[in-house]
């Protein structure tokens, strides 16, 4: 298999697939209620790629070098029978399967997902304080259920990571408590700088708590030391506790962008391929898929998109670019 490189020499290795634009949470930094309330027009079922269409596309991407596929959303666990999709994708040789979830449905779904062939799960959890967590998800969802979901995933044999977005004034007071909850558990906790994705969250640079601030807060209580990146396309800067209680990561896409090693493509729930989290339009793969394109034609279409890719939005970001038009996080899946 030839290696496919974009204009900046970056290979295509990871595919993130959004399987729904719906969610059972209304996180204030992602799907604020004022915008995603009762009148919001979500995609209709027929607009979503079917499981069979997703499997077919996944096989095409694997032929082009993809080795990791991550299911996301919206909330992927609200898509009916998601276990069946995992089972179909598990049938594709050489593909590592991961899923990013808010964890609300993990207590009842973890075992079935593991049986279906899921390898890894990333659970988004921004606070271990119940009141803060309820305020952030804005649907009054209790933190204990997500913690139970994390335990259920680990008990089912899934590798678990925890992702926490930090927004100033919302949950930055709980950084150390989060770190302490997962120190020594074997689950890697990664903090994410609040990003200027979409428009609905009213992002401001002042709301971003930087990687340096996050690390300093934890280091003051539990001393940390930096680790080398494992792979060039790693998104997280890694730090280990000096006392051996594990490590944490920080995804610093605002203050320390990492476009240079980015090998990720993103597929929206309606089958648009985005070559950057910040690429507005995407390329429609559903139309060719539904109008009888052969596998060869689909493969050529994706190849053509990737070799022209030149996105490096995060490295070019300035305070002004926050006013540019951008795709919503709940649409493209992070
Ligand atoms: C869009 S969610 C989709 C999957 C699932 N619903 C979840 O929350 O894990 C994927 C990830 O994006 C993160 N996210 C959403 N909006 C963000 C923002 N403005 N900045 C940084 N991360 C964000 C979430 O915290 C989550 O970890
Ligand atoms: S971050 Fe995930 S759980 Fe929260 S609103 Fe967005 S899609 Fe839903």
Section 2-31 average pLDDT:
93
Among the ranges given (39-48, 79-88, 278-287, 313-322), the one the predictor scored with the smallest mean pLDDT: 313-322
pLDDT score, position 256: 84
- What digits encode the pLDDT tens for the residues 98-122? 999 999 999 999 999 999 999 999 9
Take atom 12 of ligand 1 and give the residue whose Cα is closest. 334
Ligand 2 contact, 23 CB (< 6 A)? yes
Percent pLDDT > 90 in the chain is: 78
pLDDT of 234: 76
In testing the pocket of ligand 1, which one of 73, 79, 150, 165 has its CB within 8 Å of the most ligand atoms?
Answer: 165
| 334 close to ligand 1 (CB < 6 Angstrom) | yes
Q: How confident is the model at residue 329 (pLDDT cuts 50, 70, 90)?
A: confident
In short, whether 72's Cβ falls inside 6 Å of ligand 1 is: yes
Ligand 1 atom nearest residue 197's Cα: 19
Give the number of the ligand closest to the Cα of residue 25: 2
* pTM listed for this prediction: 0.94
Mean pLDDT of 59-65: 96
Distance 19 CA to ligand 1 centre (A): 14
Q: Is the pLDDT of residue 181 over 60?
A: yes
CA of 22 to the centre of ligand 2 (A): 9
Q: How far is the CA of 226 from the centre of ligand 1 (A)?
A: 25
Secondary structure string (H, E, C) spanning the chain:
CCCCECCCCCECCEEEEECCCCCCCCCCCCCCCCCCCCCCCCCCHHHCCCHHHHHHHHHHHHHCCCCEEEEECCCHHHCCCHHHHHHHHHCCCCCEEEEEECCCCHHHHHHHHHHHCCCEEEEECCCCCHHHHHHHHCCCCCHHHHHHHHHHHHHCCCEEEEEEEEECCCCHHHHHHHHHHHCCCCCEEEEEECCCCCCCCCCCHHHECCHHHHHHHHHCCCCEEECCCCCCCCCEEEEEECCCCCEEEEECCCCCCCHHHCCEEEECCCCEEECCCCCCCCEECHHHHHCCCCHHHHHHHHHHHHHCCCCCHHHHCCHHHHHCCCCCHHHHCC
Judged against a pLDDT cut of 70, whether residue 322 lies above it is answered with no
224-256 pLDDT, tens per residue?
Answer: 999 987 776 678 899 999 999 999 999 998 888
pLDDT exceeds 90 at position 316: no
């Amino acid at each position: 298999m030839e290696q496919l490189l974009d204009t900046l020499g970056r290979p295509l290795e990871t595919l993130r697939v959004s399987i729904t634009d719906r969610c059972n949470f209304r996180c204030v930094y992602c799907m604020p209620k004022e915008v995603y309330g009762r009148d919001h027009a979500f995609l209709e079922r027929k607009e979503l790629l079917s499981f069979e269409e997703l499997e077919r596309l996944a096989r095409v991407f694997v032929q082009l070098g993809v080795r990791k596929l991550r299911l996301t959303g919206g909330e992927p666990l609200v898509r009916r029978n998601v276990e069946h999709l995992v089972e179909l994708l598990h049938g594709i040789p050489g593909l590592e399967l991961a899923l990013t979830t808010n964890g609300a449905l993990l207590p009842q779904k973890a075992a079935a997902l593991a049986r279906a062939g899921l390898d890894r799960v990333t659970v988004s959890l921004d606070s271990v304080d119940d009141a803060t967590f309820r305020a952030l998800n804005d649907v009054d969802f209790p933190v204990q259920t997500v913690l139970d979901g994390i335990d259920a995933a680990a008990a089912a044999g899934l590798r678990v990571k925890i992702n926490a977005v930090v927004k100033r004034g919302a949950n930055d007071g709980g950084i150390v408590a989060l770190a302490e909850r997962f120190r020594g558990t074997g689950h890697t906790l990664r903090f994410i700088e609040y990003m200027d994705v979409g428009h609905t969250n009213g992002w401001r640079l002042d709301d971003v708590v930087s990687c340096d601030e996050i690390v300093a807060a934890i280091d003051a209580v539990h001393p940390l030391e930096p680790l080398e990146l494992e792979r060039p396309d790693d998104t997280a800067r890694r730090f280990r506790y000096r006392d051996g209680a594990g490590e944490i990561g920080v995804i610093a896409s605002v203050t320390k962008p990492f476009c240079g090693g980015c090998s990720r493509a993103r597929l929206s729930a309606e089958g648009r391929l985005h070559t950057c989290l910040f690429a507005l339009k995407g390329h429609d793969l559903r139309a060719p898929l539904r109008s009888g394109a052969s596998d060869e034609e689909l493969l050529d279409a994706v190849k053509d998109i990737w070799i022209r890719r030149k996105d490096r939005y995060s490295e070019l970001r300035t305070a002004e670019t926050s006013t540019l038009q951008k795709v919503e996080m709940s649409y493209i899946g992070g």
